[in-house]
Structures are given as structure tokens and as C-alpha cells.
Chains A and B, each alone.
Chain A
């Protein structure tokens, strides 16, 4: 075992550590002191002082304690201070003494009061266990997810247990307690009497008990002055040690490196510090002043008025190297390097010795490893230099080990510095805690620049490193109430810029929590991701702003989200007004209504006086109506709207449609045939096909159907009916506005060449070729084409000729073409 001095404490304690409630957070965390004087003199004027120091004794906070009587103080895993009061209230402060929140350990406590409490850590977080005046235990395994558990009663327990400890076994939190010569194990459901194996039967009382850092082992100090060490399930005894001291120790803690075979416990009395281990011998350190033991993962920190020391088992690597006359490869390498520095040839001898045994890689490794265990930078340097020296003689020794160690040690040395005061051991604490957590701790201590330095130095990806630190910095910054909003917003933006992974919305959310809505809004301006901006703005009831941000983003789903929110929050009038000012949102909402709420759509158009759309709306609606009457009514509405919209065409067209509907109804009655839902054109055709020429004529006039179309309509209807007589009559009724080619074509279409021929003579000269072609009369077509001297007509005929059969014609055409072209 060895004791290393970590710090000479810079604190200035008037009364030392006497009569103080002391708590120090593990992993080199801060130390909290609360003067215990409160119990004796309950005068309001002498309020106890709560002081918080860093591990180096640098004052971090100090304030008079104003609340109730504190039974116990302890630190959480995230460096928050828990103060457990007599009445069961637990107050949480951060390490700067800022009040965070509080919770209660249950109502029962109110009457019975807490007589003792313990704070413990587990994989679930930080827990609190209390024992009440009624000798009942209550615990909460994780204070961040508070679930109080009242443990079963211990039968026959009339006095407070002499000592107790919290254990974690199989993911369950248990309590071991001693009352007289009995030991009880309490879990959620039962209370079991237990006996540690191999315990001296003469033991009548247990003074002190301690669980190891990992809850794997338990140590008991008996009234016979023996320390019993064993596994925490009390199934196995590891060793027993007779301290020869009968008085109860002030503190007893485990001091054991994980995986070490040596179970050892440190006991502290007023003037004595004793390390008890497996062997018969013990190590005794006389102590001069009041101290306090802080168990760590791999050792014990000893805090006293003037010093802060670390006691731990000497690690294997260090022992190998520094043991006197050690012949371990590491020791030899160190020696070799020393000689080399002295420019002595002995260096070569040492090296040779190592190399002959093929142990050089091992030697290098030992030196690197040992460096990790050393506290003094000088020693670290010597060891690292030695290993680097050794590395020169190795061709393919992986560099990661050495480089990694150098990086990590620099970080550790930096955080060990007085101003920071986080003493960590490399191989156990630092590795166990990870860089991430270390950075978090620095952030908690508001040591942002150092945290960023470390992130950059270790090349931690921005997202997890620098950005996170900056975010915390910004979150802290927004809480500084004295600075005006825009100064803060500006400062934050300047520092953060567009750093990757910075979420301005998170910072803004923090600002909002602090009641600084304006600042939050300013900060949100910097947030590029609208998806993040919008929900927070809604939460802050800045719905208008949220809406414009959502629109800006172009993400329509986001717009819909805000719109739905507005719809539920606002009255209809305001809601519509808001939409009116945001055309994008309005059209999206219209889309929504079109599919979901037809009537709202109408209201929307109404509010905007959009008569055109209202007209269209009624038109659409008319098609949904089941009766002609209702449809007419809807169409009449449409006409009115179209008129208001000054859309004469639509109004007139709609009126005509109403007129048509009336006609169709009449026909439907008269001829018992469906006409509704036919277009005017189809209605007329239907009438013509049924020989209702008079009615067709009526519609033709009434609706001003253009002559041309009516003629087309009539001839195709007549041809369809094969009413050739009527067709001929019609052709002679007056001069055809569409010419007579359509007559020819329509007849041919219905396979009546005979009728078709009747009209050929009437076809104009220009169309004659086509007429002949339609009849399939190539020769006549050629004649006509030649007569017209038109090249395009000739070509047209040419394309219809079949080269093999129409030789003579082809010649004729070619000849004529040549003639035309010549001209």
C-alpha cells in the first residue's frame, strides 16, 4: 500500500473537520461540509454554513443553511448535492449551491423523523436510503425516477440498529443491518436473519459495517475488535483481522482494487489509520488531525484539514519496476534508459539482458502501464521516456498504447490541477468513468474552455464533444439573468455559429424554462431546423410565429401541424383571419377541407369573398345533389356567385345548363327516356336519332348552336340511323355550312357508297380529290388532282396507290407532277 499526496488543501477551515457533516463525491468529486453545530444550539441566529469545495479545497460555494435539520449529505452521480433532512425532505443543490429541486421520502417520516440516511450509487443512478425513528427503512433506488420502497419491518427491533449498509444484489437493493448480535438482510419482500460464516460466536454487537464500492464485499467490525471480511451475500468469508482496538472506528471503508486478490479495509480512529488485509500484519498510519475517508473504486481518499491523500494498493506494474533490486523487464528498461541518459555503456548491457529474454515488448508495456498509475508528472515522464527508448529497438510494436497513454495522462494531469481539482486515477477511475463523463463533469463545473480543449485534444467527434460543451455553455449563459436578451443571444450565436450538432432549440427551451420567452424566441431565430423551432414556438404560444416558420421551412406537414393546432386553440374568426394573412397555409388548409370538411371550405371562400371559387363550389355541390330541384338550387347559387365574381361567361353557361336541365326534364317525361346528365350535344343527337326533329330544332335555336356543329351533328345522327332519305332532304334544305365532303365521308363510313356518290358532285373543287379518295376511286381522284394542278393533291393520291397494281396511274401522276413542278 502506498499513500500519495494529491493536494495540499487550500481551504481555510477554522475548526477543522470536527463536528461536520462531510460528503465527498466519488471519482474525485467535490467535497461538501455542513457544520454540525445545529443540533446543540438551535438558535436561529447561528445558522450552519453549507460549504462546497473542490477536491483541492478551492471554495465553490458557501451559504447559510436555512432549511430544517440535516441528517445526512451526499452526492449524486451527476455531482449534485443531496441534503436529507430530519423530516424526510431531500433538497438537491448543484455544486455551486444553486437549489435545484426537492422531494420527500414519504409521509411516514413526518412523524417519526429520519434518524439516519445514506446515499448510494448503482447502475440505476443515485439512491437514498433512510431509517426512521420507528426503525423502518425506506429507500429510493433512483432519485431521478423516484419510486419509494418501504422495506419490511424487522421483527423485534426495539432500538436503532447499531450499523447498517445498503447493498446491490442481483439488481435488487437490499439493506443489511445489525442489531445486537443479530444481522438481518432486508429486501423488498422479506427480512431474513443471516449469520456470516466463520464469525466468532462471542460477538455480541457489530460496531461498524462497510460494503465495497462494487457492493461485492462486506466488512464488519465487531465488539471484539475483529474485522470480518467476506462476500456481501454472506456466503463466504475472505479473512478476519484482529485490530486489538475495542472502540468503534470512526469510519471503515474498503480499499481494494478490482480484480485484486487482496481484500483490505481501512479503519480510522481518532489518531490512527489502519489498513487491515489478508495477512496477519497491518499497516498503521498515525494521523494527526481529523480526517475523512472517501472510498473510491481503487483506493481511498483521505481528506484532512491540510492534506488530501490517496491510499491504494501498489499496482503490480509499479511494484515490479520500483521494487528494490527488481529484475523485472520494466525495471531493467528503466535502468537502461537512466544509463543511456548518463551516456553510459551500461545502457546497452541492460537492454541486452532484456532482449535476450525476448522481453522487450513486455518491458515497454510495463513502463507504459506503470506511468498510468503514477501520480507525479515527473515519474510519468521518466517511465514514458523509458518505454519510448525501448520502443526504438522494436520494429513493430503497436503505437496506440503509448500514444493513447500520453494523451490520456495529459488530460488527467490537466484536470488534477489545483484550479480544477478532479484527482482521478488513470487505469481504474478514468477508464471506468469514460472521457464523456469527464467532459460532463467539467461542464458541470462550468470549466467550458478546458472541456473544449480536451475535446479538441482527444479529437472527439464534434457532435459528442465540442458541440455538446458549447450547448451546455449556452444553456448556462441563458440563465444569467442580469444580461439583456439580445446581448446573450448575440454572444451565443457568435460562439456557436453554425457548429455541427448544436441545437439552438434546446438552448431556447432552457431559456423558456427560465421564463425568458423573448430570449428563447431570439435564440430560435438561429435554429436552422424548423422541425425543431415550430413545436417550441407552439409551446410558447407564439403560434403566429410558428406558422410563418413552418411556412418558411417548406415542410407542408409542419404547416398542417400548426394549422391544426391553431384550429383547436383559436376561435373560428381569428383562425380564418390568421390563415388569410398566410396564403400558403390557407391553400393547404383548403386542400384539407376539400377532402375532409366541405362546409368549412365554403366558409373560407365566403370570408375571402372569393366568388369565383364559391361558384365552383356550388357547381361541385350541385353534382352531389340527388334531386333535380336541389341541383337547380345549387346551380342558381353558382350563378349568383359567378355574377358577383363578374364572370359573365360562367354565369351564362350555368344559366344555360339550368335551362337544359329543364328541357331534359320535360323530354324525359314526354318520351320516357333518360336525358338528364347528357350534354346539350348528346341531347340533340339523341332527339335526332329518335326522329324528334322538331325538338332538336328547338334546342338548336334556343341554345344558339353554331350552324356548322349542328350540321355535323345532324348528318352523323342521320347516318347512324341510316336514314338516307332524310339526309338527302337535309342536304338540300340549304347550302351546307360545312361543305359536302362530310356527307360523302359519313356515308362511306357507314358503308353506303351509293349514297356517298350523290354528294360528290356538290363537293368543292379543292376537296374533290379527297371525296374521290374516300370513295376509293383513284382514277377520278387523279383526274381531279390534275385539273387542280396541285402537287400536294397529286402526292396524296400517290401515297394511296399500290405500286404493283396501279402502274398506269402512277405513270400518269408522275407525269402530271412533272408538269406542275415545271410550271
Chain B
């Protein structure tokens, strides 16, 4: 069911099993039949931990979505609320519970807070007079969720906004807690590196929490050799650029949520023979995307331009395999063929799916507008005319292209120019307000606060220095057989991943100057291991580094790190963790404030 989590360098299934165990224990605490009332936001992340079958085994008979008013009728003994600790949700729960009492039905109420209990919420329930109605009040520490064999995510949508805009570091606290859980299962991580304010804060909390557990030494042989904490605001550029890996493009266009993607159904219909003529499905096609699917694992991280050839090669292999049956003569041969059939059929349907997806994407990537946008992005990244108003952006505004696209481009220009000239900035802002509406003034203010959009203060633009020192732009990239991480953006090497790469070799000391230009402190901490747990490294054995992106990571960055893991002489394998898997659009959206006036 989750075997793909255990194939990697680090068996992340342990983490998943620990989470499942905790869930089962809680469910068993509430004896008898139960109904779960879900904070809708949580259903996605929970899906990565436990399917409905697990819940069913523990007598969960009904599931509802948390909403105001009365609870739906259900003939169960227990009602369990699975919620994030938010005050507004507490009010809804209170309403639910109060409505219940009148029905004269005696049911037991429980709350499971994810990921943490909150005194504030309990206080609110108390004020509402329902605190006493709850038999169990527990917390389910779901911080880091295993997302794939080498990928952990907290699936916390608003982490970046909270940290950089609202100065609310709750998610960082959860991060530190999550890392402690991780260390409890996989051993103390001896070295911690970091860059950025949030990284510093998380590291401080980790060291502090370690002191809290002082004495109870962790006796597990460390699986991770080091941890690298990176603030998203150290590298604001990367998520703004359009990802060009297969998985990255799927996310850019159809957005992958909690490991699933919803696709327009048209391309997937004609596959079934004999059913032609039936009405077209209107429901979008939902697909799970992870390394459990062999083909997907192979192509997900490739530059999209290299995907086509792999697909056609696969197609040939599969049809050749099906042809085999004509050669099968003896009973033994036929038997062997038949035994392979399920695997082959799975491979064939997987191939069909991905061919369809690739076609969908290709329709977009070959369009002129996509090409034009990419050209402008690449101009910005190479530092061409970043200090002037860009004609393409102007035209896009005039044609009322989606606001997110505009903001992404304007922010990119600002980042690549270390801020825009006041005149240029004001021009863009005015254009945006006039075209898309004055209400976006708050959004613009947010972007400025987050540093994505800013007026140039110092005269010197340091982006070119950073670009050159870190080799962020590579001219001759090989999309088919890449030799550098820059293939993931067809030329641009993600800054964040470069930092990770340079940390291993030759070390950050060589780039001190550039590190100083990037926001926030950089640091190194060591955590003492009990003697006897020091790893004796075998010759040629790779180090394992956990890279934690605070504020989100893109699929392209993940791909770049995977590429580094696979490099023959890399010497380091990476496990990636983040608060949320993001793409530029979703990210910008999370920073927007949508104001709507009531109808007059």
C-alpha cells in the first residue's frame, strides 16, 4: 500500500507506520461505533497516512465535513472532530455540540487536534460552554507526512504567508517538533546547517527541545548525516520561474494536491474499446502520482523535452512484450507469459495515462503565449532589461491575462533586479490596480512586505554577482542527458539547490560573500551523539542529507536534488522535507488578500 516509501535511502514507511499507530490508538480510545467530522483541510494530508479502510477497521462508520449548524444524523456512539486548532473552527464545533443536546440523543464527543492541542482553543470551547462535553481531547502530532520515498511535506498551505507576512511562527514550531519526531525515529542528526531567519529559529528550537529531553539519550544509529535548513526567502526567484520538468509542468498546469492531480477527462476517454458513443465523462480524471508507478518514477524529473522519447521507447518495449505471446509455444512459456500479464497491463495503462498527460501539456508548451512568457522569464533570469518596464508584461496586462501570471512576472523582474526603480514599480502597480481593480492594493502591499516586490534602495543590483558566482545560468544545457541541475528550468539552476550542492563541495566558506548578500544568517550547529553511535563510513558510502525548505519547495527543485543524489561522484543523497510543495501560482495566490464588497 505504501511500499514506495520504503524503497529510498531512508525508509520513510517507519514514519508513516508511527503515525498510523498513533491514529489507531486514538480511535481505540473511543470505544464503540464512531463518526468523524472532518476539518476539510485535513482530509488531503490524512489520505497520505491512512485510507478509509483503516478507519473502518476501527469502527468509523460515517464521515462528515465540519460545517456550521447541526450535525447530520448518524446512529453512532461517538462523534470525533478532527480539526486544526483554529478559533473559528471551535465556534463551529460549539454550534454542532449545542445543537446536539436538544435532540436528546446521548452521544460521546471527542476532539482530535492536528497537529497540536491549543490552550487558546480549549479556552474558547470553555467560553462557549461546551468544553465539558468532550470525553477525549487529544492531539495528533501529524507534522511531517511521508509524501514519497524521499519526500516529506507538512502540507501546510499558509506557512510562507504566516512566517514572512504575518510574523506568525507557529508553523516553524511545528517544523521543529516534526524534526524532533523524525530524530526520535531516525536518530539524532549530528550536523545542522542553515540559511535564513526562519532556519535559525527552527535550529534554535530544535536545540532547545533537545535539552528538554536531556538525559533520555537517543540510542538509534543516525540515519541522516546532516540537516540543511533553507528559508524560502533566501531564494524567492526559483518558485516564480516556470518549472520545466514533467512533474513540475503537471503541477504548474493542473496543480498536484496531496499527491493527486485532477485532469480534464477528454483525453482519457477513447481508451476503452467497445464503449464508443457513450456520453463523455464530465468528472475530471483523478490520478495519484508517486514513485510507486514505475514509469512515472522514471520520467517525473526529466525535462519535458526529454519525456517524449522515453514514452515512445516504452511504448515499443511494451508492445514487443505483448507480441511475445505469439512466440510462447510450450505450456511453460504461456504460463510465464500469463504470470507477467498483470504487470504488463499495469504498465500499459500507466503508459497510456502519461501519454495523454504529455499531450495535454504539449498543447500548452507549444503555444505562442507559453513560449513568449518563457522568453521573458529567461531574459529576466539572465539579467536582460530588468530595470525597465517590460513590454510583454504591459501587453499581458492590457489583455487582462490572469493576475497571478502578471504578479509572478513582475515579482520575478523585481527579484532579478534586486528591486525595481520606484517609477517602474509604481507604473506596474498602477496598471494592475486600474486593470484588475483597486482591491488588489492589499495584495500588492503583501507582496512588498514579503520582499517579492520592492523598490530599489541601494543603487547596486547584486543579482548579477549572485548569478555569476553561483552559476545560476548555464548556457549549454542538455535536456536529454543533463549534466547539471540547470536542466530543470532549461538553463536556470535553482539557487536553493545550488546552495545545497555547494555546501557539500567545496563548502560554504567559498561563497561567504554571496551568502552575505542573501537575507538572513547562515550557520552551522553540531549535536553531540552518544559515543558508540558515530557512524563508521564504508568506502564509497554516500552521506545522507535532509534538506528542509521552510516556506515551500517546487517539484523542479526536488527533481534537481534527486539529480544530485544520482550523480555518480556526488557522494551525497538527499531526502527533501518542506512545509508544502508549491508552484509559483499557488504561492502568489497564498499571498493575495481577496476583498469583496457586499452587493449594494
Judge: A and B partners, yes or no.
yes
Establish whether residues B85 and A557, one from each chain, have CB atoms under 8 Å apart when the complex forms. yes
Establish whether residues B398 and A713, one from each chain, have CB atoms under 8 Å apart when the complex forms. yes
Chain A at the B interface: SS class: helix
B595 is contacted by which of A620, A678, A738 (Cβ under 8 Å)? Answer: A620
What does the 1/0 interface line of A610-622 toward B look like (CB < 8 Å)?
0010001001100
What does the 1/0 interface line of B109-131 toward A look like (CB < 8 Å)?
00000001111100100000000
B211: interface (CB < 8 Å): yes
A540 to B426, CA, bound (A): 53
* Given A499-B215, A653-B430, A681-B400 contact (CB < 8 Å): yes
Establish whether residues A626 and B600, one from each chain, have CB atoms under 8 Å apart when the complex forms. yes
Interface segment, one of A8-16, A315-323, A434-442, A700-708: A700-708
A695 to B542, CA, bound (A): 71
Contact residues, B398-448 vs A (CB, 8 A): 398-400, 426, 429-431, 433-439, 441-442, 445
* Given A616-B445, A623-B595, A583-B434 contact (CB < 8 Å): no
What does the 1/0 interface line of B489-505 toward A look like (CB < 8 Å)?
00000000000000000
A712 to B400, CA, bound (A): 10
Query: Which residues of chain B have C-beta atoms less than 8 A from A500's C-beta?
Result: 213-216
Query: Which residues of chain A have C-beta atoms less than 8 A from B600's C-beta?
Result: 626-628, 676
Establish whether residues A595 and B215, one from each chain, have CB atoms under 8 Å apart when the complex forms. no
What does the 1/0 interface line of A499-514 toward B look like (CB < 8 Å)?
1111000000000000
* Given A560-B119, A619-B442, A554-B87 contact (CB < 8 Å): no
A529: interface (CB < 8 Å): yes
Establish whether residues A708 and B176, one from each chain, have CB atoms under 8 Å apart when the complex forms. no
Contact residues, A654-677 vs B (CB, 8 A): 654, 656-657, 660, 676-677
Interface segment, one of B34-42, B164-172, B256-264, B510-518: B164-172
A596 to B88, CA, bound (A): 9
A698: interface (CB < 8 Å): no
Query: Which residues of chain B have C-beta atoms less than 8 A from A462's C-beta?
Result: 215
A518: interface (CB < 8 Å): no
For residue A461, give the distance in angstroms from its CB to the closest CB of chain B: 10
What does the 1/0 interface line of B176-220 toward A look like (CB < 8 Å)?
100000000000000000000000010011001001111110000
A140: interface (CB < 8 Å): no
B363: interface (CB < 8 Å): no
Establish whether residues B170 and A556, one from each chain, have CB atoms under 8 Å apart when the complex forms. yes
Contact residues, B454-498 vs A (CB, 8 A): none
B235: interface (CB < 8 Å): no
What does the 1/0 interface line of A414-445 toward B look like (CB < 8 Å)?
00000000000000000000000000000000
Establish whether residues B398 and A584, one from each chain, have CB atoms under 8 Å apart when the complex forms. no
What does the 1/0 interface line of B563-600 toward A look like (CB < 8 Å)?
00000000000000000000000000000010111101
A: interface residue count bin: 35 or more
Query: Which residues of chain A have C-beta atoms less than 8 A from B205's C-beta?
Result: 553-554
Establish whether residues B399 and A712, one from each chain, have CB atoms under 8 Å apart when the complex forms. yes
Least CB separation from A799: chain B residue? B366
A650: interface (CB < 8 Å): yes
A595 is contacted by which of B88, B399, B430 (Cβ under 8 Å)? Answer: B88
B116 is contacted by which of A467, A557, A682 (Cβ under 8 Å)? Answer: A557
B83: interface (CB < 8 Å): no
Query: Which residues of chain A have C-beta atoms less than 8 A from B119's C-beta?
Result: 557-558, 560-561
Query: Which residues of chain B have C-beta atoms less than 8 A from A596's C-beta?
Result: 87
Establish whether residues B445 and A680, one from each chain, have CB atoms under 8 Å apart when the complex forms. no
Establish whether residues A623 and B597, one from each chain, have CB atoms under 8 Å apart when the complex forms. yes
Establish whether residues B395 and A712, one from each chain, have CB atoms under 8 Å apart when the complex forms. yes
A619 to B395, CA, bound (A): 28
Establish whether residues A501 and B441, one from each chain, have CB atoms under 8 Å apart when the complex forms. no
B397: interface (CB < 8 Å): yes
A555 to B169, CA, bound (A): 8
For residue A571, give the distance in angstroms from its CB to the closest CB of chain B: 21
B394: interface (CB < 8 Å): yes
Establish whether residues A612 and B445, one from each chain, have CB atoms under 8 Å apart when the complex forms. yes
A587: interface (CB < 8 Å): yes
A499 to B593, CA, bound (A): 49
A558 to B430, CA, bound (A): 42
Query: Which residues of chain B have C-beta atoms less than 8 A from A558's C-beta?
Result: 119
A656 to B431, CA, bound (A): 12
Query: Which residues of chain B have C-beta atoms less than 8 A from A572's C-beta?
Result: none
Of the listed residues A627, A680, A703, A716, the one surrounded by the most CB atoms of chain B closer than 10 A to its CB is A680
A646: interface (CB < 8 Å): no
Sample of 20 further A-B pairs with CB below 8 A, known A620-B442, A626-B600:
A500-B214, A555-B173, A560-B120, A561-B120, A564-B120, A564-B123, A595-B87, A612-B445, A623-B439, A623-B595, A623-B596, A625-B597, A657-B433, A679-B433, A679-B437, A681-B434, A682-B437, A706-B394, A709-B398, A712-B398
Query: Could you list some 22 contacts between A and B, CB below 8 A?
Result: A499-B214, A553-B205, A554-B201, A554-B205, A557-B117, A560-B119, A561-B120, A564-B123, A584-B169, A596-B87, A612-B445, A620-B593, A624-B598, A626-B600, A660-B438, A677-B437, A677-B597, A680-B435, A682-B437, A712-B398, A713-B398, A716-B399
Q: Which B residues are closer than 8 A to A by beta carbons?
A: 85, 87-88, 116-120, 123, 166-170, 172-173, 176, 201, 204-205, 208, 211-216, 394-395, 397-400, 426, 429-431, 433-439, 441-442, 445, 593, 595-598, 600
| The 7 residue pairs across chains A and B that have the minimum distance between CB atoms | A500-B215, A712-B398, A587-B167, A498-B214, A679-B437, A657-B438, A681-B435
